[in-house]
Amino acid sequence: MRQLTRPLGLTTLVLVSVTLLLAVFGPVLWSARADSIDIDAMRQGMSAAHPFGTDYLGRDVLARTLVATRLSVLLALLATVLGAALGILLGTLPVVLGRRIGGLVVAFINLTVAFPGLLLAIFFGVVFGVGADGAVLALAVALTPNFARLTYTRAVAVAEADFVSAARLLGVPRAVVITRHVVPNIAEPLVVNFASAIGSALLSFAALSYLGFGVQPPSYDWGRLLNEGLPRIYTDPASALLPGFAIVFAGITFVLAGELTARLLTAEPPGHRAAPRETAAPGEPEPGGEHGVLRVVNLRVRFPAANPVCGASFTLHRGEILGLVGESGSGKSVTGAAIAGLVPHPGQVEAERLEFDGEPLDPARLGDRLAMVFQDPMSSLNPALRVGRQLAEVAEVHRNADRRSAMARAVDRLRAVRIRDPERRAAQYPHEFSGGMRQRAMIGMGLMGEPRLIIADEPTTALDVTVQRDILGLLREVRDTQGTAVLFVSHDIAVVRELASRVLVMYAGRIVEELPASALDTAAHPYTRALVASSPDLRTDRSLPLATIEGRAPDATEELPGCPFAPRCSYADERCHTELPAPRDLAGHRVSCWHPIGALEVRA
C-alpha cells in the first residue's frame, strides 16, 4: 500500500479519479452547452465565452471534449473487456485441447502477436464495417493475441508448478485446483495487462474514429472531434489540439494505472532502509612487516536499500587457501565481488585498507594478476566463442601476445587443468563441454597469466561430488605449483574444511570468527559451532538429533543494535541484544562474541 503514497501512486490516483469523474459527470454537466448550435459563433477562436473556441456549428469545443470523455473511455473499456475475454478463451484452448490441436492454436497466437495492433484494428475495421460497433469489435480482435499469449504462457507455467502437483497428489479435485490455484496466479499479470491495455485501446480507438471508421456523427468521441478540428490547426490551434490533448492525457492515465497495479500486486513486504553506520572497532594494524597478497581492513559495501558487508577484515598470504563460509545472503559473494571491483552499480565499496600485493588495490590495474571463478561457468563463458579463443583473448589483451602464441598458451592451460585432448577441445564451444569441464576451462582462463590470487565463488556448488573433488584437487595443485592464493567462497562447511587452511565465518555481513580449518569442531563462536554441528557428515551419530539453528538470518536490510546472531543464539543475554561485540583474539581464533565457547582467553 505504500506505493499509493509515493509520487507515482499519488499522480496516478489523481489522474484516474479526474478521468472517471469526467466520464461520469461530464455529459450531465455540459451536454446542453456542448450541443447548443450557435450559427453566429461558427469556427471561432479562443474567447471568454468559448475558452477553446467553437466548431463548424458554433458548438463549444471545451464542452464537447469534456462530454466526449464518457464515450471515449467507455468504448475503449468495452473493446478491452471483449479483447481480454476473447484472449483468455483463446489462451486456455491449448491447455484444454490435446497436444496436436493445442500446438496449432499456440502457433496461431504467436503469429498474430507479431502483427502491429493498430494495423489489425484498421483491417478488421474495414471488415466489420464503419461505426462504433464495428470499431469496438475490430479493436477487441486486435487486442486478443496479446491476452491470449499471456494467458497461455502463464497457464502453462502455473499448471506445471510444484504447488499444483502437490494439490493433485493430495487428491484435490481438478476443478478446485484450477479455481483455487491456477486462476488466481494467472489473474495477476492479466489484471496488470488489462489496465495498460485500456490506455492503448483509447489511443487506437481515437485513431479509428479519426480515420472515419469509428464513431459516426452526430455522436462524437475524441477521435471524431480531432477529425473535425484538425483542418483548422493553423487558424485555431487550441481548439484543434484540445481533443488530442485529452486522448494523450487519458492514454497516459491508464498506462500509469497499469504500472501502479503491477507495483501494488508485486510489492514485496517493505524492508526499512538501513542507515550507514560505524563499526565498534576499526581493524587493528597487522603485526609484522610481511604483507600478504591481499589485505582487507574494515571493508564495507552499501546499496541504497541494504548493507551486505559491514566491516570485514582479513589477510590472505601467498600460497594460502582461505575459506569464506556463511549462509545464503550473508555477504560472501559481495565480499568477493568488492575485492575484484565487480560490485554492480549503485553499490558503494569502502575500506580502511584494501591492499593487493602491498599496494592499494586498483581494479583497473589488476589485469591478470587476479582471477575470478564463479558458480555457473556457463554464464561466465561466452556461448558464441570457441573455448580456446576465449582463453587466448586474455593473453592478447593483458600480455599483448600475438594470436598464435596466445592460442598455444590457451591449449597449454587447458592441458594444465587436465582437460584431455586440449587441441580438439580448444576448438569447441562451451555447450560442448560438461559442467566440470567448463569449470576447469574457467580456471584455465584464470591461469592464462600468473595470478597471485584466485577468488572462487561457489565454484563447485553446481557440480556432482565426484567432479567437485577433481576441481578441489585442481585448485590445490595450482596453489602448490604457482603459489597462488585462493579465496574460496562456499556455503558448504565440509568442502571448506577439506580445502582451506584457515576459515572466515560470515554472518549478516560481518566476519564473526576466523579460525584454522582444523579447529572447526572446537569453534569459539556459537554460530560457527551450530553451523558445524547442524551439517551431518559420515561420522555423525545417527542416534541423536542434529543440532539446529532456529529462526533465520537477518537480511541485509535489517539493522540490529547488538550481536546480529543474538535472536537465534542460545547463549545470548541482555548485553548481546544491545551491544555489538568487537573482534578479539582467543587462542588462534579471532572471534566477535561476548561469550565465546570453551577456549581460554589469551588476550582481553
Partner 1 sequence: MSELTVDGLTVRFGAHTAVDGVSLAVPAGSVLGLAGESGSGKSTIARAIVGMAPISSGSVRYDGTPLRTPDRRIQLVFQDPAAALDPRRSIGSSIAEGVRAKRTARRARVRELLELVHIDPARANLNPREFSGGQLQRVCLARALAAEPEFLIADEITSALDVSVQGAVLNVVREIQRETGIGILFISHNLAVLRYLADTMAVLRAGKLVEQAETETLLGAPEHEYTKQLIDAVPGQE
Residue ranges binding ligand ATP (CB under 6 A): 303, 306, 308, 326, 328-334, 344, 347, 491, 555-556
* Amino acid letter, residue 562: G
Total residue length of the chain = 604
Instruction: Please report, to the nearest 10 degrees, the dihedral formed by the alpha carbons of residues 159, 165, 170, 176 taken in order.
Output: 0
Among ligand ATP, ligand SF4, partner 1, none, residue 364 binds (CB under 5-8 Å by kind): none
Q: Residue 415: CB partners within 8 Å, gap ≥ 6?
A: 422
Among the candidate windows 291-299, 329-337, 374-382, 593-601, which touches ligand SF4 by CB under 6 A?
A: 593-601
Cα dihedral sign, 389-394-397-402: negative
Among the candidate windows 111-119, 242-250, 491-499, 589-597, which touches partner 1 by CB under 8 A?
A: 491-499
Measured from the CB atom, the residue of 553 and 566 that comes closer to ligand SF4 is 566
504's enclosing H/E stretch is: strand 502-507
C-alpha cell at 36: 447548443
Q: Is 537 in the site for partner 1 (CB under 8 A)?
A: yes
Measured from the CB atom, the residue of 325 and 443 that comes closer to Mg ion is 325
Among the candidate windows 9-17, 145-153, 419-427, 569-577, which touches ligand SF4 by CB under 6 A?
A: 569-577
Rounded to 5 degrees, φ, ψ at 497 are: -60, -40
C-alpha cell at 189: 499479470
Nearest in space to 208 (alpha carbons), one of 298, 117, 306, 280: 117
Measured from the CB atom, the residue of 478 and 553 that comes closer to ligand ATP is 553
Among 55, 569, 589, 590, binds ligand SF4 (CB under 6 A): 569
Measured from the CB atom, the residue of 245 and 571 that comes closer to ligand SF4 is 571
Among ligand ATP, Mg ion, ligand SF4, none, residue 338 binds (CB under 5-8 Å by kind): none
Helix spans in 219-321 (H): 222-229, 237-266
Measured from the CB atom, the residue of 210 and 594 that comes closer to ligand SF4 is 594
* Amino acid letter, residue 261: T
Q: Is 389 in the site for ligand SF4 (CB under 6 A)?
A: no
Strands 306-316 and 294-303: antiparallel
Q: Is 526 in the site for ligand SF4 (CB under 6 A)?
A: yes
Measured from the CB atom, the residue of 274 and 381 that comes closer to ligand ATP is 274
Q: Which of residues 346-365 bind partner 1 (CB under 8 A)?
A: none
Q: Residue 94: CB partners within 8 Å, gap ≥ 6?
A: 102, 103, 105, 106, 109, 152
Among 333, 439, 460, 484, binds Mg ion (CB under 5 A): 333
Q: Is 330 in the site for Mg ion (CB under 5 A)?
A: no
Nearest-approach distance from CB 593 to ligand SF4, in angstroms = 3
Whether residue 143 contacts residue 87, with contact meaning beta carbons closer than 8 Å, is answered with yes
Among 1, 39, 170, 604, binds partner 1 (CB under 8 A): 170
Nearest in space to 582 (alpha carbons), one of 569, 566, 593, 573: 593
* Amino acid letter, residue 344: P
* Amino acid letter, residue 180: R
Among 1, 275, 465, 600, binds partner 1 (CB under 8 A): 465
Q: Residue 282: CB partners within 8 Å, gap ≥ 6?
A: 297, 298, 352
Nearest-approach distance from CB 151 to partner 1, in angstroms = 17
Half-sphere exposure of 124 (CA within 13 A, CB side): 22
- The secondary structure of residue 600, as a DSSP letter, is -
Q: Which of residues 486-525 bind ligand SF4 (CB under 6 A)?
A: 525
Q: Is 581 in the site for ligand SF4 (CB under 6 A)?
A: yes
Q: Is 404 exposed, middle or buried (0-12, 13-18, 19+ CB in 10 A)?
A: exposed
Nearest-approach distance from CB 379 to Mg ion, in angstroms = 13
Helix 61-96 to helix 7-35 angle (10° resolution) is: 120
- The secondary structure of residue 557, as a DSSP letter, is T
Q: Is 576 in the site for ligand SF4 (CB under 6 A)?
A: yes
Measured from the CB atom, the residue of 57 and 494 that comes closer to partner 1 is 494
Among partner 1, Mg ion, ligand SF4, none, residue 333 binds (CB under 5-8 Å by kind): Mg ion
- The secondary structure of residue 178, as a DSSP letter, is I
Nearest-approach distance from CB 553 to ligand SF4, in angstroms = 13
Among the candidate windows 194-202, 203-211, 242-250, 526-534, which touches partner 1 by CB under 8 A?
A: 526-534
How many Å apart are CA 544 and CA 66, to the nearest integer?
77
Among 250, 524, 563, 586, binds ligand SF4 (CB under 6 A): 563
Measured from the CB atom, the residue of 388 and 554 that comes closer to ligand ATP is 554
Residue 588 falls in which region: left (phi positive, over 0), alpha (psi -120 to 50) or beta = left
Nearest-approach distance from CB 327 to Mg ion, in angstroms = 10
Among partner 1, Mg ion, ligand SF4, none, residue 536 binds (CB under 5-8 Å by kind): partner 1
The CA angle 531-532-535, to the nearest 5 degrees, is 85
Nearest-approach distance from CB 179 to ligand ATP, in angstroms = 35
Q: Is 438 exposed, middle or buried (0-12, 13-18, 19+ CB in 10 A)?
A: buried
The contact set with ligand SF4 (CB under 6 A) reads 525-527, 563, 565-566, 569, 571-572, 576, 581, 593-595
The contact set with partner 1 (CB under 8 A) reads 161-163, 165-172, 180-181, 184-185, 268-269, 327-328, 464-466, 468-469, 472, 491-495, 497-499, 530-531, 533-538, 540, 542, 545-553
The contact set with Mg ion (CB under 5 A) reads 333
